[in-house]
Structure formats: C-alpha cells, structure tokens
Amino acid sequence: MRRLPELLAPAGSPEALRAAVQHGADAVYLGWGSFNARRGARNFSDEEFAEALAYCHVRGVRVFLTLNTLLTDQELPQALETAAAACRLGADAVLVQDWGLLTLLRLCLPDLPLHASTQMSVFTSGGAREACGDGCQRVVIARECSAEDTEAIIRNCPAEIEVFAHGALCMCYSGQCAMSALIGGRSGNRGRCAQPCRLPYGVNEPAKKHFPLSLKDSCLAGELGNMARMGVSCVKLEGRMKRPEYVAAVTRIYARLLAEGRGPTAAENRELETAFSRSGFTSWYWQGKHGAGMFGVRPENTPEPKALFAEVRAAYEKDGLRTVPVDLTCRVSAGAPCALTAADSAGHSVTVSGPVPEAARSRALTAEELETRLRKTGGTAYACREVTVELDGGLSLPASAVNALRRDALSALTEARVHPPLRRELPPPAPPENTCGSGALQWTVSVIGMAQLSPALMALNPARVCVPLELLPSLSTLPAGETEWCAILPRVWRDRDEPQLKTWLDHARSLGVTGALAGNIGHLPLLRDSGLYIYGDFGLNVFNSRSLEYLRKKGLRSACVSFELRFSQIRDLRKPLPAEAIVYGRLPLMITENCLLENSASCRCDQPNFLRDRTGAAFPLLPAYGHRTEIQNDRPLWLAELPDFRRLGLRYARLRFTTESPAECVQVFRDYLEGAPARGTFTRGLYKRGVE
C-alpha cells in the first residue's frame, strides 16, 4: 500500500527524472509542450515524454504533466491536444491553472485526473472545495499556508491536499504576480518569470545591497510527521529549473525521512543546505510566522557541492537503486511447453511459454538450478522476491531457454505495467456565444479610501463604485450618488477570517451595497448566500473566452479580464459575460504575505511608502487586509486618448485609484471622459506589447 504523504519530485529534464525516480520519488511532475509554469526548464521532447512515462510506470512512479499557465483562445486547442496526447499515453494527472482549460479538460477528457495548481491561489477551505467541485482530484495550496491553515483545509475539503515542502518561495502569492510581466514583459503566469524579486531594492530608501523580496528557500523536512498525521496527501519538492544532482540529493533525504517516519539529522540538514539554499532555510510560513528572518540570498559564484553531486550522480546513473519486487512461478513438465508466470504487488500477472523440455541424457535439471537462473534479473527494473518452481524429474532445459523465458515474462510484465488505462475522449464543445460583446461602455471606479469618493467624483456618475470591504463597517451611510455600490473582498484571507467577513458583508448590504468584487475562487462560496451580485476582479486571471463562460456558469454578472492581454486579444474574446478592463491606475505587481514595512523597520501605513529599485523607480506600497502588502507599479496606466480600448467590446472600463488625491481622482475621470492626453509619466501597460 502506498505510503502517505506521496513524495512528488521535480523533473525538469530526462536526467532529473531519472535522478528523482532512482532516489525514491513516488511521483514526478514535468513539462511537455509550451504551456507550463517553467518554460525555461529543459523539459521533454515528444519522444522523451513517452519514454519518461514508460520509465516511471514500470517502476511504480506516477507522472503529472504541468499545463499550469494562462492560455489565450488561440492556444487552448493546442493545450487540449497536449493533454489528450498525454492522456492517451497514460499520464496520471494534469496540473492546471486556467479556468478555460479546466473546463475543456473536464468535458473532453472526463477520466483524466486534474490537479489544481498553486497558480490558482487557493488558501482557504472554500477555494479548495470550489476547485474540487470543478473536477480537481487534488488541490495544491499556497506556499504561505500554515499548518493550522492546511489542517483546516484538509478537514473541510474532500480533495487531496498537496503541500510545497522544499524549495524556492515566491514573494508574491503564486498566480497573482505581475511584476516580471509589467517590468520586463515576461509573465510568471505564462511560465516566463524573470525573478525580479531576487534583485536589490530599498524600502523608503535607495536600493543598495538589500533584498526585501528575496525569501529563503522553504524546508519542511522536520514537519513530515505532522503532515502525515493531519492527512496531507502529497509533499512537493520544488526545482524543475535546478540540476539533476540537486533533485537526487533532496529527493533521497525526503524519501528516507518519509520511509523511516522521522525528522532529519544534523548531517541531513547540512546536506540539504549544501545542495542549495539561500542563506539557509525557513519554515516560518508553516509555523504561521513571517518577518525579516525569512529573507536571504544566494551569493554569486557560490561553489558547486562537487563531492555531494558526484556521489548522487554516480548512484542514479547506475539505474539500479529503484527495482520492482516480482514473484516468479515456473512450471516445467514432461511433454508440455514450459511456462513462467510473473506477478507484481500491483495485481499484474502475466504468463509466457517456452520450449518443451527434453529428457535428460546425463544430468537432470534441478529446481535449485532453475531458480538461480530465474533470479538473474540484473539490468532490468525488477528484483525477484519469491520464486516458485514446479519441476518434473529427469528433464533438461538449456540455460538459454530459461533466460529467454525470464526475459519474455519480464517484458510482458513491463507491457502490462505501462499499458495506459482506457479513458474517454470527447469532442470539445462549441465556443461560447458572444452575447455580451456590444453595448455602451460604462465607467467603473475603485478606490482604497473613502476620501477619494468626493462629491465632485460622484457627480461624474460612475456606473459602479468599488470600495474595500474592510472600510465599510465604520460607515453608517454611503456617499450620495446614482451608482451601484460594490464591496471589494480582501485578495488574501484565511478560514478563520470568514465569520468577520460575513458580518461585514451583512453590514455592507444594510448600507445599500448591492455587489461584490471576487478576485479569488474562494470568494464564490463566501458570496453565494450574501444576497449580493458577484463581479469578477482581476485576480481571477481571465485570459480567454471559455474562462468568461466558466464564470458565467458560476453566477457572475461580469468579469475583469487580465491586464496581461493585448488589445487585440481582448477584442477577439467571445464575451458570454460582460467584460471589464482596467484602463487607468497603478497596476498591482504583487500581493505579499509579509509586510515590507514591518520587515524593514516599523509599520508606517499612515504615510506614503515606496519600494525603490536600482534605477530609482518608486513602487508604492499599500497596506492590504491581514497586515499584508500590495506593491503597485511605479507609474499609472494611461489610455484616455487612445480610441482602442473603446472598441474592444468591453461593457465596463475601470479607473483604479490608489495613491491619487480626491482632486486627482476627479481630474483623471474628467480626462477620460474627454479623451485627454496623459499628465506626467505613465505606461500603456501590456495592452500594446503583450507578454511572453
């Protein structure tokens, strides 16, 4: 019986896959094709992918394919075909982020197991249940989840829960980072992250040799027992961009700890750190902590651990560390073809036959000799556990015949072990109807403070005004104006926060708020019984028409499309749901569990704060719910004088006010109504240039 948790190792190349398998991985995850979150890894060719599946399956190791990036309408058919080909070959599961691809896979490949990638930004029980209800057998929760968070999710969700146990930590919640995309045009949501978080920055000071966004690697080797007790289904090791020797070194220690049910020794901890670390390791997120002690860097020209890497490489290159126990039963009877049955513990059993034995002329074959020959499985993936011989006396059988019998039996057993399961493959549904791609463009406004909602701004009659939910409890009335009021739910929260959030939603309704902005899949179960209309926010990463259709079926009344899409891509979306786009404002680069201000000195959330890079650019830092930080772009998006965004079939255009004064909010709104050129420095965002 397979132990729990399953040990899942990275396979960024065929060699890394072999290293992981030979050193004890229960499963590997790898990229094949163009749509995975580590497109910079070596990954696998078509031939290598098929070989990888056979190599792993004969050794009892599962293979998970990563298709966990955002996809355009043009890319969805190819991604679906990649998944279908993997399904035919016998891939054990597919990891997915994109709602449109999730929908297609569930409908077209209903027997293929799906895993919700950490790129889905799931960190609550409600989010995990939502993904489970959408057909995900497993949910990979956010790296920022504590043991308490994880246990609550496991207790309240029927899906398997996977936890990142070792490796690099992103500063931003996975799936919510736009820093690499907006600064350099390389999207982390598209598998092209340039890792700007590893560069020096200054918090309210020039960037020197400070790295306030560079987290140490996570190491939860000492927590495996707790994970097993709480019911974690899988522990994942990060590292598809790292060397095969690193994969081998880390995998073998975690495999050993799981098998022996213990924590790491001091020597094992040193070995993990030697293989790769950034100023050591951290387990603070798992402990429910955060702070400056979590941060570290890897100095340039850090020497390679040659001795360690040579040791593990020599071990996995022999390809004999991982063998499959097999039971052999051989029957040699006079006048009948000899027969050999090979059986494994997974229930596979095959029988092959050989020549009819001859009568012995001098010395008869003995059972001991026959067993010795059958046990010679060297050079294969098998090791004999039990050999049963049924041999009539006085018979002779050449050694070559016995060897051929053994080879044929093991070959047949291999074929049985790697044979892909029968799975249905159904045609894709028709594209969604473009029923909401026309109509007059309406202006929506979002703010971070009530002072920005001046009478002058309200007099401009925005169709919808969106206010952070946490600001509403202090109000007894809303500012006067003919508008629809919406509450912006916190981008990040936990199960323990939900009673308070529901109380606030009740109060918001009593004020006259009629809608809510949902930026996370976990918001949907929170809002279904709230009596509020649900509108999709940018955090849902809507990248294609089928994602809009997915959200329509979830009951949403509109959705904000990703600001990583080009104008032409937004224009070409079929819009079964009214679509919105952010057309003004500082775009959010990161949402972080750590408070950057608290880490650098002390919290000064009542005054302007900035993150400065090496060029002197200043990125405003805004406080976020739960003592978190949202990093904004250094300059606002400005499209007012461009006619393009008015021709995209959008129903709503959002003005996103963050650092603007009340007067500046009014001026910007008027400039957009008039199509005025920008004042000061600005960006066109990604709407013109797009992303890799």
Q: Encoding tokens for residue 531?
A: 């009596």
For 81-93, what is each residue's pLDDT tens digit?
999 999 999 999 9
Dist. CA 571–CA 460, nearest whole Å: 27
Bond prior to 462 in cis (omega within 30° of 0) = no
- β-strand partners of 140: 162
Percent of the chain, pLDDT > 70?
98
Helices (H) and strands (E) in the chain, counts: 21, 30
Dist. CA 197–CA 77, nearest whole Å: 33
Dist. CA 281–CA 293, nearest whole Å: 10
Residue 1's pLDDT is: 41
Tokens 């508008």 — which residue? 483
pTM over 0.75: yes
Q: Please enumerate in sequence order all residues whose Cβ is within 8 A of that of 369, keeping only pairs 6 or more positions apart, or say none.
A: none
Residue 42's pLDDT is: 66
φ/ψ (deg, to 5) at 586? -75, 120
Residue 601's pLDDT is: 75
Residue 493's pLDDT is: 98
Report which DSSP code applies to 561.
B
6: nearest Cα among 64, 54, 47, 91: 64
Dist. CA 211–CA 424, nearest whole Å: 50
Report which DSSP code applies to 295.
B
Spans of the chain below 50 pLDDT: 1-2
Provide the 3-class DSSP secondary structure of residue 38: coil
Residue 691's pLDDT is: 86
C-alpha separations of 38 from 65, 85, 565 in Å: 12, 20, 20
Side by side, the strands of the sheet bearing 628-632 are: 202-203, 610-612, 618-624, 628-632, 588-592
* Residue 225 and residue 263 in contact, taking contact as beta carbons nearer than 8 Å: yes
Residue 209's pLDDT is: 85
Report which DSSP code applies to 172.
B
For 507-557, what is each residue's pLDDT tens digit?
999 999 999 999 999 999 999 999 999 999 999 999 999 999 999 999 999
Bond prior to 5 in cis (omega within 30° of 0) = yes
Dist. CA 521–CA 118, nearest whole Å: 12
Element containing residue 624 per DSSP (H, E): strand 618-624
- Provide the CA 523 distance to its chain's centre, in angstroms: 19
Residue 3's pLDDT is: 62
167: nearest Cα among 229, 92, 259, 241: 241
Dist. CA 258–CA 5, nearest whole Å: 8
Dist. CA 226–CA 26, nearest whole Å: 19
